[in-house]
Amino acid sequence: MDSIRHADDGWNSTVHVNDPPPEKGFNALRARCLSEGSLFEDPDFPANDFSLYQSAPPVSAHGPIGWKRPGELVDHPKFVTEGYSRFDVVQGTLGNCWFISSCASLTSHPELFERVVPQDNGEFEDARYAGLFHFRFWKYGQWVEVTVDDRLPVNEDDQLLYISSSVADEFWGALVEKAYAKLHGSYEALTGGTGREGLVDLTGGITEFYALKGAEPDDLFEMVERSLARRALVTAGIDADEQGRLERVNLVPAHEYSVTKVCRLEPGRHLQLDLGGEGDGSVKLICVRNPWGGGEWNGAWSDDSVEWIAVTEEKMAELNVGKEDGEFWMSFEDFVTYFDDITMCRQCPSLLSDAQRSCHPWELVSRKGEWKRDSTAGGSDGQSFWRNPQFLIELPASNACSAGARDVDGDRNVRVTLGLMQKHHRARGTNLLPMRLLVYPISEHVAIGRKRLGETFFEDATPVDSEPVRFETSREVIVRYALPAGKYVVIPHTWKPRQEAEFLLRIFAEGRVIDLGEQVMDVERRCENLLWFSLTSVAKLVRRVVKFVTDFWNNCLW
């Protein structure tokens, strides 16, 4: 397993940009175009069907598709008009609301936005304009730079086919979408996804996902409130609607929204009338935005609802109530009723400012590894489970002094979030494997060298989870714990043995986390392992030969 990031590293090493070859870098390409007096045309993502579709083009409901530069669509195009906001990105005909909602959330965080959208892109009317722009995305453990030309797909009425802006002459949203499509092979490859994917790819952060409908934590509102205060990005999703109940309240089924704010209205201070609400009379509200730029909730606390009569004018002005911009307020109770999940993306320590790091002393360790057939792909089977990669960490006792979590006995624990991401090629449409993470405590009497913990250890060991951990077929699996100080072994594994894939393991801890490395298989056990697989393969071959001969003989007799 290769270590790729450590918690104490700074920007220069932790947020590494995987630059293209010098001759294909943004500055070199721009300089060449300026010297030649030409506008850039991207040979790797051309203005044709190759860039639109993963396979053969479907019959288009939008008529002929053309490609035009912003200067051919409006008189005075702008890359960014008077700053950027969540209202700048409006979804087009592509089914990528999950990416749009993530982009909308990103605009509330200037330091993150400017990492994805570098400020040296310039404007269309600058002397440096050469028809190209560059962007950065986080992909499988590192930041990747993507350069594109500014030819955008349009319909026969010269309207942008995909992302547009609420301001007609602004184009940063359409161009960041094009760069993301290039990263994944085509625009069509962006169809269907989750807010978790979009948030991680735009920040390199680690997500917390919660199902609603009775499965949410009791303090979910407070968790969302804390997450937004700590600069987390938040999205919420709605599943398919089989009973038509969403249409009545003007919500969109199978759709992803961004969560922008929460608010607690207090009686006497914000409320002029008693509306019931919580035990103290307060009302919890949440602000949600539809990436379409329209289509707002029409229930309680919507723009024109009677509930606002009880709220002071000052508070209403502060909450920006009444604009038809796709953003709306609703009670937190209704939110939990109508939405199906919520995702909070926490920024990694290296992406926080010094002030933020001092307030929230979290650290991150990341490692790459793989499940390899006949070697480290042990699956969940009891006899081969120990063959899975084993990753040792230590949570020092000093963490417990500052950590805030306590167990039932009042002892201080360390909050830890672990993420297991399998390498996924969206452009190829490859299937994801069911996988999970198990964490085992290592007692002091267990001798730890560099050799892998054997089968006997796992026969007696019990994972830290109080209930069985489910397998998930998703790009990244996240688990959260509050653990006592000590040593632990982390086991990433698939459901079935002998399934091959590469993975990225990330451990996000409150306080210090010591990387003790991967436990390697010693030569004796490796030989034993290979011998076992070899004998198994020979036995299977013998059985097949016997069956073939028997079937052949029976057919001849018949």
Q: Do 504 and 435 contact (CB within 8 A), yes or no?
A: no
Strands (E), 372-500: 390-395, 405-406, 412-422, 435-442, 476-483, 486-494
Nearest to 326 by CA among 299, 301, 306, 297: 297
Question: Catalytic site residue 97?
Answer: yes
Q: Which of 478, 469, 224, 208 is nearest to 346 (CA)?
A: 208
Between the alpha carbon of residue 264 and those of residues 209, 416, 422, the distances in Å are 23, 29, 39
Instruction: Compute the CA torsion angle 424, 92, 259, 481 (nearest 10 deg).
Output: -10
Q: How many CA atoms lie within 13 A of 380 on its CB side?
A: 13
Which one of the listed residues 97, 103, 287, 348 is annotated catalytic?
Answer: 97
Burial tier of 244 (Cβ tally within 10 Å: 0-12, 13-18, 19+): exposed
Q: Which two tokens stand for residue 44?
A: 């790797």
Alpha carbon 179 to its chain's center: 17
Q: Rounded CA gap, 145 and 29, in Å? A: 13
Q: Is 62 a catalytic residue?
A: no
DSSP string, 343-367: EEEEPPGGGS-HHHHHHS-EEEEEE
Of 404, 382, 528, give the one whose Cα is nearest residue 461: 382
Edge-to-edge, what's the strand order for the sheet holding 327-331?
A: 206-211, 341-346, 233-238, 255-265, 283-289, 327-331
Amino acid at 289: R
State residue 233 phi and psi, 5-degree precision: -100, 140
Of the residues 109, 255, 270, 424, only one is catalytic, namely: 255
Q: What letter does residue 283 receive in the DSSP assignment?
A: E
- Rounded CA gap, 122 and 27, in Å? 12
In angstroms, the CA 12 to CA 200 distance is 20
Residue partners of 525: CB distance under 8 A and separation at least 6 = 451, 452, 454
Terminal CA-CA length for the chain: 57
The active-site residue out of 121, 290, 399, 529 is 290
290 is catalytic: yes
Q: Which two tokens stand for residue 324?
A: 């038809």
Q: How big, in percent rounded to 5, are the helix, strand and coil portions of the chain?
A: 30, 25, 45
Give the catalytic positions in this structure. 97, 255, 290
